Amino acid sequence: MSDYQMFEAIVRDVEQITAQVKRFTLVSPTGAPLPGFSGGSPNILQMQDGEQRYSNAYSLMSSPLDTTSWQIAVRLESPSKGGSRFMHQQVRPGDTLTVSTPNNLFAIEPQARKHLLIAGGIGITPFLSHIPELEQRQADWQLHYCFHDADNNAFVDALSAAPWRDRVNVHVSALGSRLDLPRLFADLEPGTHVYSCGPAALNEAVKAAAGRHQVPASQLHFEQFIVEDKGGEAFTLVLARSGREFTVPQDMTILQVIENNKAAKVECLCRGVRHLRNDDSGRGSGPPRSVLQRGRESQPAEYADLLLARQRRPVSAGFIARSPASAAGRCADHSSSSRRSRS
Mean pLDDT score, 96-115:
95
pLDDT the model gives residue 266: 65
Three-state secondary structure of the chain: CCCCCEEEEEEEEEEECCCCEEEEEEECCCCCCCCCCCCCCEEEEEEEECCEEEEEEEECCCCCCCCCCEEEEEECCCCCCCHHHHHHHCCCCCCEEEEECCCCCCCCCCCCCEEEEEEEHHHHHHHHHHHHHHHHCCCCEEEEEEECCHHHCCCHHHHHHCCCHHHEEEEEHHHCCCCCHHHHHHCCCCCEEEEEEECHHHHHHHHHHHHHCCCCHHHEEEEEECCCCCCCCCEEEEECCCCCEEEECCCCCHHHHHHHCCCCCCCCCCEEEEEECCCCCCCCCCCCHHHHHHHHHCCCHHHHCEEECCCEEECCCCCEEECCHHHHHHCCECCCCCCECCC
pLDDT the model gives residue 292: 24
Contact 124, 104 (CB under 8 A): no
**For 175-221, how does the pLDDT look when each residue is reduced to its tens digit (9 = 90+)?**
999 999 999 999 999 999 999 999 999 999 999 999 999 999 999 99
**For 128-140, how does the pLDDT look when each residue is reduced to its tens digit (9 = 90+)?**
999 999 999 999 9
Mean pLDDT score, 82-103:
94
pLDDT the model gives residue 8: 97
pTM exceeding the 0.85 threshold for the entire prediction: no
pLDDT, mean over the chain: 79
Mean pLDDT score, 40-67:
92
Q: Which of 45-59, 253-267, 286-300 has the highest mean pLDDT?
A: 45-59
pLDDT the model gives residue 215: 97
pLDDT the model gives residue 170: 96
**For 220-279, how does the pLDDT look when each residue is reduced to its tens digit (9 = 90+)?**
999 976 555 556 788 888 887 888 898 988 877 787 788 778 777 665 555 444 455 443
**For 124-172, how does the pLDDT look when each residue is reduced to its tens digit (9 = 90+)?**
999 999 999 999 999 999 999 999 998 889 999 999 999 999 999 999 9
